[in-house]
Amino acid sequence: MAWTGQYSGEEPVRVNKWLAQSGVCSRREAEGLIAGGLVQIDGEVVTDAGRKILPGQTLVLSDDATRRLDSAMTVLLNKPMGYVSGQPEPGKIPAARLLTATAQLGDGPLPSSRDSLPPVGRLDEDSRGLLILSTDGVVAKAVIGPDADLPKTYQVWVRGTLTDSKIARLRFGLSLDGRALKRAEVEQLGPLCLRFVLREGRNRQIRRMCEMLDLRVMDLWRTHIGPLSLEDLPEGRWRHLTPAERTALISGAGR
């Protein structure tokens, strides 16, 4: 079914930007649809990737365009330790291999090729918890785009001596690779258990932060990405992202 939208802004805006801001598709996906002749404005086929839509004009995506976008897939996986989120080195097992029919929770199609469903962000081999895999460009931008600001929540068990001064430094004041880290939310949940909420994703960030303060991470469990949580998703199982969750994820990124 074709998608129709009327532009209500006050100033002209590029078609690909407006579609991305509306959560319809990513800018790159919009450019692909334009190149395929699948976009019309007030009945005229758009052929220029730089075309702007004017206030009051109506844009229509053809049936082929919406079918192409609807084929995009996003799943949530509760990744166990021992699986890598990205491209594996020899001898390593990618987390996408867990996307089997027997491990699925709920309804929805299986990925046509598990290895072609890329992770959105990373979760190290020795970490566990919530991992998003998606071919949806809008979802990817919301989670790991340059302007993404979604909080990601972790429970972390450490070995070492926890003090108020160390927790204060974990919250703010540390640098990695010559760049200051954004302020983090860090709360002590137990004698050696911490809750981290981060708004950035530097390489092995929590582990490296803790090492700088003589704390060794023994277990790292990601429980939330923005409004998404593991809830009742058992370890090693996966399910499809719902339309409501997609909307919440994109809206959260916008805030």
Which residues carry out catalysis? 124
Burial class (CB in 10 A: 0-12, 13-18, 19+), 130: buried
CB 109 within 8 A of CB 73: yes
CB 7 within 8 A of CB 13: yes
**For residues 162 and 191, is the Cβ–Cβ distance under 8 A?**
yes
**Which helix (H) or strand (E) segment is 75 a member of?**
strand 74-79
228-229 and 185-190 strand pairing: unpaired
Please name the residues in contact with 141: beta carbons below 8 A apart, sequence gap of 6 or more.
20, 26, 148, 253
Q: Are 98 and 236 in contact (CB under 8 A)?
A: yes
| The one-letter amino acid at 115 | D
Sequence-distant (6+) residues with CB within 8 A of 167 are 186, 188, 194
d(CA 117, CA 153): 23
**Closest to 16 (Cα-Cα) out of 37, 32, 38, 5:** 32
Distance in angstroms (rounded) separating the CA atoms of residues 83 and 128: 9
